Amino acid sequence: MELEQRQFYKQQINKFKELRPLYKKYCEILENILSNLIKGRSSEYIIQSRVKKISSFANKLFDPDKNYINPFQEINDLCGIRIILPNINEIFLRNTKMNFFFYNLYNSHHLFSKKYQTIP
């Protein structure tokens, strides 16, 4: 790996360190929104969230099979929320409010925030 690229990745890691608290706050906000949308539609649910660890972010950057030009646009799992339901049919996949906040990236069980791309 070239020195210039290594320095760029180190800058990106430092940027992620600075932005990580914003991603945590973003997860909290999304958890509240999702919880409010689910209440009354499902008898049971669990919402879990996480923000990528700094070491995991660094490992992705330095992966020899990847060559990130804009890591914050190219890495799509900097934060994530999981909703666990006893029965997917009870809930909101057809709910228009949910579609306002999220889009379906690759199948009906993986929804990504439209706003997610604009944080950094």
CATH classification of the domain holding 55: 3.30.460.10
Buried b (16+ CB within 10 A) or exposed e, 74-113: ebeebbbbebebeeeeebbeeeeebeeebeeeeeeeebeb
Give residue 120's pLDDT: 40
Give residue 33's pLDDT: 85
Asked whether 91 and 85 are in contact (CB, 8 A), the reply is yes
Radius of gyration of the chain (CA): 17
Does this model's pTM top 0.85? My answer is no
Please list the pLDDT of the chain residue by residue as tens digits (120 residues): 688 888 999 999 999 999 999 999 999 998 998 888 778 777 788 888 999 999 999 999 999 898 889 999 899 889 888 877 776 665 555 455 555 555 544 334 444 444 444 444
Domain that holds residue 51: 3-118
Query: Domain tally for the chain?
Result: 1
